[in-house]
Structure formats: structure tokens, C-alpha cells
Amino acid sequence: MNTLAAADEHLSLFTSARPRLLSLAYRMTGSYSDSEDILQDAYLKFARVPPEKIESAPALLTTIVTRLSLDLLRSARKKREAYVGPWLPEPMPDLYLAHEDAADRETVSMAFLLLLQKLPPVERAVFILREIFDYDYAEIARIVQKSADYCRQIFHRAKKNLRRQHRANPEPGEKERELLAAFLTACAGSNLENLVSLLQKDAQLLSDGGGKASASSIPVIGARKFAKFVFAVRDKGGVRDYYIARINNGLAVVGYRGNEPYVVQIVEFAGNQVANNYALRNPEKMRHFADRRRLVREGVLIPTSRYFSLTQNLRLARSQWGRFMAKIVGS
């Protein structure tokens, strides 16, 4: 096989595997940007392997991406420990995970990713490869360079711990759309008790500014504290344009100030109430939201007037929503 043909074959094999590789790297790192960098490095490594020595391209690429992810996590440990305020995963639009089924997408929810980040890197790799990608223990052992028995033990331990700490939520539907409209209306209103009633008793708000943008330096936990915090800060952003997005298997509100993304706010529900609210303000984690027009064209961002029903939009309009949203985008 000549050099050009080999390069074409490598590119074709890599392109075919890329969606799964991105899913793997993202779950490992919690960073969309780092995952893209890992995939670029993985392709360069893969392209140097002669075609005749590749027994299974997916297996080889999975090995390369896993090990690059582990290397990055080890090198970034001190940086993560010195992070200012709560650390949240970089938001990932659901559209970029369209190749996954609903059960797998649940494992990229903010709540689940935060639990994954608590696992040591090798334990995290074993869990992801087994639970999400269905590799057998012998294959996993080869990838992480541990024994199969060790991999089996840490997988069962990790799965037991994650099951105990995590409550799975279904993909957002019409019920969650109505709840989001009610939540936003209450956030913009003047009745604190109305907002409190929409929050679970132990609801928490996590804000990630990374020391680069204003954000709460500690988690805000409890319905009343959550509501009071919202009322205290809601007018300070000067955000002008809002969109709805499906991000990390949840509903999100993405706000822009001028042409720059200002906040990505992911809302998780439990029953008929808000359980968690994750507000990303670190500009480094919103770089993929900079090209607003492209994201609207791709369907990642949906103008609020198109997402909510007429009745829901009227409720928003009657609230004081306009105080921190000068216009409903697309109206």
C-alpha cells in the first residue's frame, strides 16, 4: 500500500471511530476542549502505525485515547486542586452525542460526571470502558495495564458506589419544558416563596467561574438559600439574549452579552421540582458557544420564543423576565 492510500485508510478508520472516541475522552476528562486535543494527538499517533500492523482499529484507537486521557489527568491533578471555586465539567451539547442511546447519555449528565471525577483516573477508565463501551475485562486490563482481576474488582466497587450516590433522570420532555418555564418565570418574579416551592428541599446551585468570572465560590445548598441567591444576583449580568439548549442530557439556558457567551446554566429536575442548577461562567469553558449563528443553524441553540409554547411565553412576558432579558430572542 502506498503512502497516500495508507493515509486515506487511517483517516477513514479514525473518522468512523471519532464519535465514540470523543465520548470516551469527554467522560474521562470532563472537558470538551481537552477531549478535542486528545483526539488530535490520538490521530497523529494512529497515523504512524503501519496498516499491516493494525489488527483492530477501534481497539487500538480506544487504547491510545484512554492512555492519553490518563496522562492528561495525571498532569492536570495539581491544576485541578488549585482551581478557584467549584469545578464543573465543560458543557457538551446533546447533539454531539446523537450516536449514543438514552441510557448512555444519562452518564454525561452533570451530576454523573461530577461523580465520575471523584474516581481515581484508572478506576474511572475501567468503569467507563466496561459500563459504557462494553469491553471485557481482558481487553480493559490490556488498555490500562492492570490485571483482569484487578479491573473486575474496581469496576464492581465503582459501580456500587455510583449507584448509591446517583439518581438517574429521564431525558427532558414536555413535563420538563413546563417546569423550566415555571422556574424561569419564578426566577424573574417578585415572589420568593413561589421560587422556593419549585425547588427541592436540598436543591443546590453550583457556579463555576474558575477565578475568571464572577461566581459563588461555594455551593449554594437548600431551597431558600438557592432562591435568595437567585434574587440577589439576577440583575447583575446585563445579559441580553437567551436561548434554550439540550446540554449534558438536561435542559440549559445559554445567555449572551453582546456577541459573547455569558452563562451556560444547566437545570436538572427530580419529580416536579428543580434538583440542581449548574451555572458555568468560566469563559474558557464556553469557547465552543462563541459562534452563536452556527449553533443556532445546527439546532444546538433554540430561541426561547420557539422553544416554549405561546402560553409559556406569555407567562414569561408577564413576569419581570424582561428586567434581565431585554428581548426574547427570535420574537
Pairing outcome for strands 301-303 and 241-247: antiparallel
Q: Tens of pLDDT along 178-237?
A: 999 999 989 888 899 999 999 999 999 999 999 888 888 899 999 999 999 998 887 666
**Domain for residue 133, yes or no?**
no
Please tell me whether residues 188 and 289 are part of one structural domain: yes
Please tell me whether residues 313 and 201 are part of one structural domain: yes
**Domain for residue 52, yes or no?**
yes
Nearest of 133, 111, 105, 122 to residue 157 by alpha carbon? 122
Please tell me whether residues 306 and 182 are part of one structural domain: yes
Q: Tens of pLDDT along 79-109?
A: 777 888 899 999 999 988 888 887 788 889 9
pLDDT of residue 304: 87
What cell was used for 286? 464556553
Please tell me whether residues 77 and 178 are part of one structural domain: no
Please tell me whether residues 56 and 183 are part of one structural domain: no
Nearest of 234, 243, 326, 251 to residue 289 by alpha carbon? 243
Give the pLDDT of the chain (331 residues) as one tens digit per residue. 566 676 778 888 899 999 999 999 999 999 999 999 999 999 999 999 988 888 899 999 999 999 999 999 998 877 777 888 899 999 999 988 888 887 788 889 999 999 999 999 999 999 999 999 999 999 999 999 999 999 999 999 999 988 888 777 777 888 999 999 999 989 888 899 999 999 999 999 999 999 888 888 899 999 999 999 998 887 666 667 889 999 999 999 999 988 899 999 999 999 899 999 999 999 999 999 999 999 999 999 999 888 888 777 777 776 655 454 433 333 3
Nearest of 298, 300, 250 to residue 278 by alpha carbon? 250
pTM for the model: 0.89
- Residue 5's domain comprises 1-82
pLDDT of residue 299: 93
Number of domains in the chain: 2
**Domain for residue 131, yes or no?**
no
What cell was used for 267? 437545570
Please tell me whether residues 181 and 64 are part of one structural domain: no
What cell was used for 18? 471519532
**Domain for residue 215, yes or no?**
yes
What's the order of all strands across the beta sheet hosting 301-303? 220-221, 199-208, 273-280, 260-270, 250-257, 241-247, 301-303
Residue ending a domain, among 47, 64, 82, is 82
